[in-house]
């Protein structure tokens, strides 16, 4: 796994097509590939297209076969905000996700540094213990975590949403992989100059592991933004609902108004899409380094 990680640092070099056959053949291949890919891409994206188009339709037209609305109704988006406190849901989701991302990145980076760069007895054994817990289905630990929040009276609060989600063995694992790829020579120079571990961490390890940090930050934000199970069992009050729970509530109460539901879904997905397009490079590398998304 480690040498694959090293090799994938030269990430994406497309294979060279063998140069046999005529130029026409190559051109034909070019056109055929593009055609096929375009067709597949459009098929994959059809649901999204339908969603966007349906969000502009008036209520009666949603069930028509014609996907295009006869009249465009952008006020559907405004109506969503009027029928449920959507802005509040947005704020809650982003707020909680930002806190969780910050805490997770910080704690995972510190722990990854301890596992990758510091030497202490029992290091590898403890790390294997961390790895082992990655295999445990989330639901096994959710139940006791819920009981814990009940006892600590953190049910139905921001703290209850943020704190349990702020620790992840996966984050530690991912950042450790990245930190291992940093050449030790840099560290050693610093150690020899008498720098303490804190300085080495902040000035050498973190900046060089930046791609990993970005990947982890994006993963965590995205994961927590869409987190469904934990807020579902924890949150009771309306003003603390996050987007997924808000969407569920919206759908159960106003489900018949498909055009509004689709508008809400579009608004739900837009931040994710924007985030993804901006951070694609880091994400792909992160996935291929870590092997799996959380």
Partner 1 sequence: MKWQRNDTLAAAGFLLPNILGFLVFTAGPLAFSLAVSITNWNVQHTVPFQCTGTENYTELLHDKQFWIFFINTVYLMLGMPICIAGSLFLAVLLNQRLRGMVAYRTLFYLPSFTSGVALMILWKALYNPDFGPINALLDWCLQTFRINELLRALGCHPVAPPQWLSATNNLLGLVPQELQISGSKFGLGAREALIIMGVWIAIGGNNMLLYLAALTNVPQELVEAAQIDGAGRWKVFRHVTWPQLAPTTFFIVVMSFIGSLQGGFDQARVMTNGGPSGTTTTLAYYIYTKAFEEFQIGYASAVAWVLFSVIFVVTLINWKYGQKELSY
Partner 2 sequence: MKWLFCGAFAVLVLLSCLAWSLQPVPAAAGRIPLLWVSDDNPARREQISLFNKLHPQCELRLDPNNQGMEKVIVQCIAGVGPDLFDCYDGFQLSAYVRSGIAWDITGQLRASIDVDKDVWPAALHDFVLDGRAYGFATNVCANAIWFNKDIFDANGIPYPAGPWTWDEFLNVAQKLTVHEGRRIKRFGLLCDWWNWRQFVIQWGGQVYSADGTCCTMDSPEAVAGIQFLHDLMFKYKVMPTPAEESAMATTGGWGSGTITFFADSKSAMALGGRWWLCTLRNVQAERKPGERLRLGAVECPHGPLRVFRGYGRATLVNKNSPRREQALEFTRYEASRPYNDLVNHQADALAAVKQYCYTPEFLHDPDFPDEDFNAVWRDIMQYAVPDHDSPFVNGQAASRIMDRQLDLVKNDEKPVADALRTIAREVNEEIQKTLRRDPELRARYEELMEKKSPR
Which residues between 129 and 158 bind partner 1 (CB under 8 A)?
129-130, 133, 135-148, 150
70 to 89, contacts with partner 1 by CB under 8 A? Answer: none
Residue 213: closest CA among 286, 288, 136: 286
Q: Are 224 and 96 in contact (CB under 8 A)?
A: yes
Helix (H), strand (E) at residue 89: helix 86-116
For helices 258-290 and 23-54, the axis angle rounded to 10 degrees is 140
Q: Which is nearer to partner 2, 50 or 202 (CB)?
A: 202
Q: Does 197 bind partner 1 (CB under 8 A)?
A: yes
Q: Which is nearer to partner 1, 98 or 163 (CB)?
A: 163
Whose tokens are 């188009």? That residue is 53
Spatial neighbors of 50 by CB under 8 A, at least 6 apart, are: 67
Q: Does 292 bind partner 1 (CB under 8 A)?
A: yes
Spatial neighbors of 278 by CB under 8 A, at least 6 apart, are: none
Q: Which is nearer to partner 2, 26 or 239 (CB)?
A: 239
d(CA 138, CA 222): 17
Q: Which is nearer to partner 1, 45 or 72 (CB)?
A: 45
Q: Does 236 bind partner 1 (CB under 8 A)?
A: no
Span interacting with partner 1, options 64-72, 82-90, 154-162, 209-217, rule CB under 8 A: 64-72
- Report in angstroms how near the CB of residue 292 gets to partner 1 at its nearest: 5
Handedness of CA 165, 167, 168, 172 (dihedral sign): positive
d(CA 182, CA 188): 11
> Which residues in this chain contact partner 2 in the complex, by CB under 8 A?
88, 91-92, 95, 98-99, 102, 106, 149-150, 153, 155-156, 158, 202-203, 206-207, 210, 236, 238-239, 249
Q: Does 253 bind partner 1 (CB under 8 A)?
A: no
- Cα of first residue to Cα of last residue in the chain, in angstroms, is 17
Q: Which is nearer to partner 1, 71 or 151 (CB)?
A: 151
- Report in angstroms how near the CB of residue 237 gets to partner 2 at its nearest: 8
Spatial neighbors of 38 by CB under 8 A, at least 6 apart, are: none
Q: Does 13 bind partner 1 (CB under 8 A)?
A: yes
Span interacting with partner 1, options 68-76, 83-91, 113-121, 207-215, rule CB under 8 A: 113-121
Q: Which is nearer to partner 1, 74 or 194 (CB)?
A: 194
Choosing from 22, 41, 74, 153, the residue that interacts with partner 1 (CB under 8 A) is: 41
- Report in angstroms how near the CB of residue 53 gets to partner 1 at its nearest: 10
Handedness of CA 120, 289, 178, 109 (dihedral sign): negative
């Amino acid at each position: 796994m480690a040498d694959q990680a090293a090799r994938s640092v030269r990430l994406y070099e497309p294979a060279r097509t063998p140069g046999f056959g005529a130029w026409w053949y190559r051109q034909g291949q070019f056109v055929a590939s593009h055609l096929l890919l375009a067709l597949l891409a459009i098929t994959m994206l059809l649901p999204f297209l339908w969603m966007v188009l349906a969000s502009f339709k008036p209520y009666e037209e949603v069930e028509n076969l014609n996907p295009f609305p006869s009249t465009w109704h952008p006020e559907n988006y405004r109506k969503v905000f009027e029928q449920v406190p959507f802005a509040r849901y947005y704020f809650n989701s982003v707020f909680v996700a930002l806190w969780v991302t910050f805490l997770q990145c910080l704690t995972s980076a510190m722990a990854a540094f301890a596992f990758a760069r510091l030497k202490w007895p029992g290091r590898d054994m403890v790390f294997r213990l961390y790895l082992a817990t990655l295999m445990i289905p989330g639901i096994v630990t959710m139940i006791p975590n819920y009981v814990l929040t009940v006892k600590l009276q953190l049910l139905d609060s921001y703290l209850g949403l943020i704190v349990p989600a702020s620790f992840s063995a996966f984050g530690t694992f991912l950042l450790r992989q990245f930190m291992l790829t940093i050449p030790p020579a840099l560290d050693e120079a610093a150690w020899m100059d008498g720098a303490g571990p804190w300085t080495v961490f902040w000035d050498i390890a973190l900046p060089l592991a930046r791609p990993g940090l970005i990947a982890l930050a994006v993963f965590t934000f995205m994961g927590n933004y869409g987190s469904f199970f934990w807020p579902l069992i924890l949150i009771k009050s309306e003003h603390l609902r996050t987007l997924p729970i808000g969407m569920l509530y919206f759908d159960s109460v106003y489900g018949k108004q498909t055009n509004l539901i689709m508008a809400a879904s579009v608004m739900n997905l837009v931040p994710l899409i924007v985030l993804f397009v901006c951070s694609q490079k880091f994400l792909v590398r992160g996935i291929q380094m870590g092997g799996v998304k959380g």
